Amino acid sequence: MKETHWLNWLIRTATTWGDIHSVVEETGVDSLDASHRELIKYALDLNRLIVMIDSENFDVNLVKDKKEKLEILQQFAIRKYEEEERLIEKNNLPGLEKQKTEHFRILKNIDDAIKDFSDGKIKELRVFEGAFLETVIYHIKGSDRQTFRLENWKESILNSASWRDLTDCTREMGMPELDQEHRDILDRILKVDKIIEQYGGKALEEPGKGVVAEYFDSLGKLVKSHFSNEESFISTFDTVGLGAVKKERLLYITNLEKNRSNALSGVTKISPELKYNLVFQWIAHINTVDYGKLRKELWWEKILINATHMKDISFLIKKTGLAEVDEAFGKALAASFELNRFFGEVAEKDGALITNLMVEKQFEELIDSVKELFDIEEKFMTGNGLEGIESHMVSHRKILDGITRYRVDFHQDRIAISAKMKVHILGALINHLDDEDIQMFNSLGDR
């Protein structure tokens, strides 16, 4: 009960993602968790505006702005819930009807709010916002967590032939190399299909025994080398203590060995159930063990702070697969590094002739390169009629506004170039690439 009180208080008073993220539960499905974060950010954005509308300096433009924001929220929510329902249907996950009912109610709330707003009932919005956030957060906590539990993906796991069939329920760490190893090992595990096809349902004899032993041995080798790569990543970037990690890894290896001897001795039948168990255990390694220790937010700021050149972060940069976009993205990152160089040099070189003018010129270059990147993207999105262009463009505008604000503040002597600024700019760009660009441009491949 006490916990509910706390939760409700937090929901009613939150104005930033930082205030509230600790109570927004995760479903374990990356795309869903990202869209929940987005949805809630839109709602919080509205919250901040309402405060201004309520204050003395009431401005008609704010009202217009607010209506626009409500409509963006609506558009985003409609798309988000459609996607969610598609995901449930595609993977035959439980609870579709309940989900649909609750989604419908959430969407109706938004629709009612827009109607109220159009009728001039501005004050009603405050009620809407508290209620909206509450419903969304409780929906995630209840139905979404129920529907998307890893245990519910059994059918998809049994039907899968490649890691591509399981991307929806497999988390990513944000480290392209390690993520790729996760996929490769998943593919290796799925080779069990061939063994099941050949030796399933019979008592295992030679040469079947040899094949099964060889399967487990080569899998074990791959897994061990993956674990040692993860450990060296952890020690290089000093992300978490190694002790606990090693223990968890050891447990996985022990389990795999148990699977091996059980399969060889006939205790475990060579059957789809074996496939399910092996895949489930691997995804659990990724989604819980690795996610707890290796997820991006645990290490990536540290890497950005220490980075001085593109090469320091290039292993982190994903590719959209569109050469033009990837190239423009690289240029934008390089320009933010260039800007930061002034920070180090001004500080170190005596009487270095780095003038404000030079810094401002570099700001211009950065802004130009980011604009160019976004132009290329937007032209491409429009040209291909991709879904979600509007909210994607809002994100672009936010990033550009952020950088422009830095430039203005620098010009007015309110801010100095610093490593923090670099982290913000690089972070905004890379996060956008990871969360929105990759999703948007990868959807091209699905069609």
Q: How far is the CB of 51 from Fe ion (least distance, A)?
A: 29
Q: How far is the CB of 198 from Fe ion (least distance, A)?
A: 29
Q: How far is the CB of 59 from Fe ion (least distance, A)?
A: 30
Q: How far is the CB of 56 from Fe ion (least distance, A)?
A: 37
Residue 84 or 326: the one with the smaller Cβ distance to Fe ion is 84
Residue 148 or 337: the one with the smaller Cβ distance to Fe ion is 148
Residue 33 or 45: the one with the smaller Cβ distance to Fe ion is 33
Is-contact 268 259, C-beta < 8 A?
yes
Counting every residue written for the chain, the total comes to 447
Q: How far is the CB of 286 from Fe ion (least distance, A)?
A: 6
List of residues contacting Fe ion (CB under 5 A): 84, 99, 144, 290, 377, 437
Residue 172 or 343: the one with the smaller Cβ distance to Fe ion is 172
Question: Which one, of 46, 40, 37, lies nearest residue 68 by Cα?
Answer: 46
Cα 322 to the center of its chain, rounded Å: 20
Question: Which one, of 294, 288, 293, lies nearest residue 174 by Cα?
Answer: 294
For 265, 385, 388, the CA distances from 86, given in Å and listed in that order, are 42, 20, 16
Cα 338 to the center of its chain, rounded Å: 28
CA distance 220 to 87: 32
**Phi then psi for 60, rounded to 5 degrees?**
-60, -35
Question: CB under 8 Å, gap of 24 or more: what pairs does 418-424 form?
Answer: 418/343, 419/305, 419/340, 419/343, 421/340, 421/343, 422/304, 422/305, 422/307, 422/336, 422/337, 422/339, 422/340, 422/343, 423/301, 423/304, 423/305
Q: How far is the CB of 80 from Fe ion (least distance, A)?
A: 9
Is-contact 259 140, C-beta < 8 A?
no
CA distance 109 to 134: 12
H-helix or E-strand spanning residue 112: helix 96-118
The angle subtended at Cα 136 by Cα 429 and Cα 113, nearest 5°, is: 95
CA distance 396 to 390: 10
Residue 94 or 266: the one with the smaller Cβ distance to Fe ion is 94
Residue 143 or 156: the one with the smaller Cβ distance to Fe ion is 143
Is-contact 163 187, C-beta < 8 A?
yes
CA distance 264 to 214: 11
Residue 211 or 367: the one with the smaller Cβ distance to Fe ion is 367
Which tokens in the block code for residue 80? 């988000």
Q: How far is the CB of 171 from Fe ion (least distance, A)?
A: 10
Q: How far is the CB of 29 from Fe ion (least distance, A)?
A: 11
Q: How far is the CB of 377 from Fe ion (least distance, A)?
A: 5
Q: How far is the CB of 66 from Fe ion (least distance, A)?
A: 25
Residue 172 or 377: the one with the smaller Cβ distance to Fe ion is 377
Q: How far is the CB of 23 from Fe ion (least distance, A)?
A: 17
CA distance 86 to 108: 19
Residue 66 or 396: the one with the smaller Cβ distance to Fe ion is 396
Residue 326 or 437: the one with the smaller Cβ distance to Fe ion is 437
Residue 118 or 443: the one with the smaller Cβ distance to Fe ion is 443
DSSP codes, 210-222: HHHHHHHHHHHHH
How far is it between the farthest Cα atoms of the chain? 84
